[in-house]
């Protein structure tokens, strides 16, 4: 069901309460190391302000257990002020009399950022009373935080019971791209799935097998498929309890006529370390004491062939230990293939989390069609789950 957006409501003179995802990485001094999530919210913020509304922003940061200065949203307020070119004061709390006073004083075109929502345990508990306190700060609720939409928290789901709830532009974009890729893809549709564990991706793989024309497998999860097929993997990470599941997944793909492509060569290391000794080995030749940490060049060539005519590509999870430069080469090579397919007109969607971070690190975020801001949210969306933060929004047919 298509969701109503801020285009569907008159915002002039209203107080808008907006959930954003400003959970940005910070360095030891509290400086923001990557402001992508802040920048991603700017189109919605600017639209609301230009429409003549005042804006109350709310977000979480980190995983605090109660108020903690190191998890304050102060750096976010400072960065937002720079990006918007206007002051974005930080409220002393997310709720309470002082916050209510600040919100009441807001004029059209002004912004206030609430302090970290998760300083209150009621946020994650989705307590109705806390959600109602938040709802008093606005006339209209906007959710632009796709990255938290898989959580039924007070600010993502609870508030929508007390205020008319609309999607922001980032939320709309995420739903359009991820939903479009799965529901009405241009074919062939090729899915690339990596990451450490098969157990994290079973539901995704089951869904993709019903949708994709080909599935390419990499990362640590490939090792479980190897071992399930009787292929030696040395001391590589393997989920021994998921060998039967791996066989079932492959059989399911075979039954449905979906190409299920595993690596044919691998990069191995003598230990799990950035400076480990490494070498390229054909599949099945991994000696004891060594472990698989990346896909090899022959596999990259195999993946290139599979991607050659793809019109829709979904990439979720890295194909090696991408945090170690020596074992990020396979992932980087495939990202280069994805940018080439995007240049050729294919729709290339990066499914958030580690894969999004790898694309950002490779400087390719602006060379693909869409990079999701949601890790867990995009994964659950790909699995076909209902996201509470999305379900709580008004449908387009209810917009007026």
Which residues participate in catalysis according to the annotation?
Answer: 37, 197, 353, 376
Cα 376 to Cα 327: distance, rounded to the nearest angstrom: 24
Cα 194 to Cα 209: distance, rounded to the nearest angstrom: 15
In the chain, which ranges are continuous DSSP H helix?
A: 36-50, 74-84, 97-104, 121-125, 128-135, 169-183, 202-211, 221-228, 243-256, 297-307, 329-343, 353-361, 376-383, 388-391
Cα 41 to Cα 365: distance, rounded to the nearest angstrom: 16
Q: Which uninterrupted H or E stretch holds 278?
A: strand 278-282
Q: How far is CA 49 from CA 12, 44, 63, 118, 139, in A?
A: 9, 9, 30, 26, 15
**Positive or negative, the Cα torsion across 339, 41, 352, 186?**
negative
Instruction: State the Cα torsion 116-119-121-122 to the nearest 10°.
Output: -50
Which residue bears the tokens 């490939």? Answer: 222
Number of H helices, E strands in the chain: 14, 14
Which residue bears the tokens 């069609």? Answer: 369
Cα 181 to Cα 226: distance, rounded to the nearest angstrom: 29
User: Which residues lie below 8 Å from residue 242, measured CB to CB, with a gap of 6+?
Assistant: 197, 198, 199, 202, 224
Q: How far is CA 240 from CA 140, 220, 260, 285, in A?
A: 50, 13, 20, 20
Q: How many other CB atoms sit within 10 Å of the CB of residue 27?
A: 9
């Amino acid at each position: 069901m298509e969701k109503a957006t801020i285009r569907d409501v008159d915002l002039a003179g209203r107080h808008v309460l907006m959930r954003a995802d400003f959970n940005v990485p910070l360095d030891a001094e509290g400086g923001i190391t990557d402001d992508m999530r802040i920048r991603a919210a700017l189109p919605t913020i600017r639209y609301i302000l230009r429409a003549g509304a005042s804006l109350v922003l709310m977000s979480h940061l980190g995983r605090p257990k109660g108020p903690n200065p190191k998890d304050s949203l102060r750096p976010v307020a400072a960065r937002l002020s720079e990006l918007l070119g206007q002051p974005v004061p930080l409220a002393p709390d997310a709720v309470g009399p002082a916050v209510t006073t600040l919100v009441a004083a807001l004029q059209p075109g002004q912004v206030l950022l609430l302090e970290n929502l998760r300083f209150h345990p009621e946020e994650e508990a989705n307590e109705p009373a806390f959600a109602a306190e938040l709802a008093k700060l606005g006339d209209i609720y906007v959710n632009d935080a796709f990255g938290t939409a898989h959580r039924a928290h007070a600010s993502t789901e609870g508030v929508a019971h007390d205020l008319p709830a609309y999607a922001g532009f980032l939320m709309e974009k995420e739903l359009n791209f991820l939903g479009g890729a799965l529901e009405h893809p241009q074919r062939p549709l090729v899915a690339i799935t990596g990451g450490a564990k098969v157990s994290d991706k079973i539901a995704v793989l089951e869904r993709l097998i019903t949708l994709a024309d080909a599935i390419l497998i990499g990362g640590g999860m490939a090792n479980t498929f190897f071992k399930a097929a009787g292929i030696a993997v040395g001391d590589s990470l393997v989920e021994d309890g998921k060998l039967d599941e791996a066989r079932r997944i492959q059989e399911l793909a075979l039954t449905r006529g979906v190409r299920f492509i595993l690596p044919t060569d691998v990069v191995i290391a003598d230990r799990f370390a950035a400076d480990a000794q490494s070498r390229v080995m054909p599949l099945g030749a991994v000696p004891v004491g060594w472990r698989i940490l990346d896909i090899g060049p022959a596999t990259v060539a195999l993946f290139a062939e599979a991607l050659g005519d793809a019109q829709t590509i979904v990439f979720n999870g890295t194909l090696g230990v991408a945090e170690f430069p020596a074992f990020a080469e396979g992932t980087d090579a495939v990202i280069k293939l994805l940018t080439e397919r995007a240049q050729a007109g294919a729709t290339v969607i990066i499914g958030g989390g580690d894969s999004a971070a790898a694309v950002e690190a490779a400087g390719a975020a602006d060379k693909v069609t869409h990079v999701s801001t949601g890790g867990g949210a995009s994964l659950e969306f790909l699995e076909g789950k209902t996201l509470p933060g999305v379900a709580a929004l008004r449908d387009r047919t209810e917009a007026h």
